[in-house]
Amino acid sequence: MFSTARLATIGAISVVYCAAALVALHVLDPSTDAIGRASSEYVLGPYGYLMTSVYLALALALTVLAVAFARTLARRRPVAPLVIATLTLVVSSIFPTDRGLVPVTPSGTIHNIAGLLGFISLTKLNPTKQSPIPAKAEVKARLRKTAESRMRK
């Protein structure tokens, strides 16, 4: 079993790889408009395998994040949205998109639906009722306990 520190390292390396590969795609394939088009369209160019690897690396990063949350913060953060987002990234890597906003092939339709589900699932990571930021009263109580324990020493 991987330690939480090792999971964090794997996740960080995956995210750095994603960023580096996307920058490389922007340089290697300038024919795809990086601002006006979806980054998914890079899969249609000569370096499409790089975009597929970005999807899989991001899926790996979300997987290790989900495992780390399940081990440490399960009560404060939902893990299911991360698992759903991971699955949608894998589906997106298998089914390439179409050029343009309107899909014309079954693969493009599946890709777009998976992307939409992935984005929606990630919005559920931090609902207001499960805010990871402690309430003001909770912070004051922690500070009071810390101060009291230090005064006793």
pLDDT in tens, 102-132: 778 999 899 989 999 998 888 877 644 555 5
DSSP string of 68-116, one letter each residue:
HHHHH-TTTS-SHHHHHHHHHHHHHHHS---SSSS--SHHHHHHHHHHH
Measured CA to CA, the distance from residue 55 to residue 57 in angstroms comes to: 6
Rounded Cα distance between 74 and 37, Å, is: 37
Residue with tokens 């299911």: 80
Contact partners, residue 73, CB within 8 Å, separation at least 6:
132
The percentage of the chain sitting over the pLDDT mark of 90, rounded to a whole number, equals 37
Segment 34-58 mean pLDDT:
88
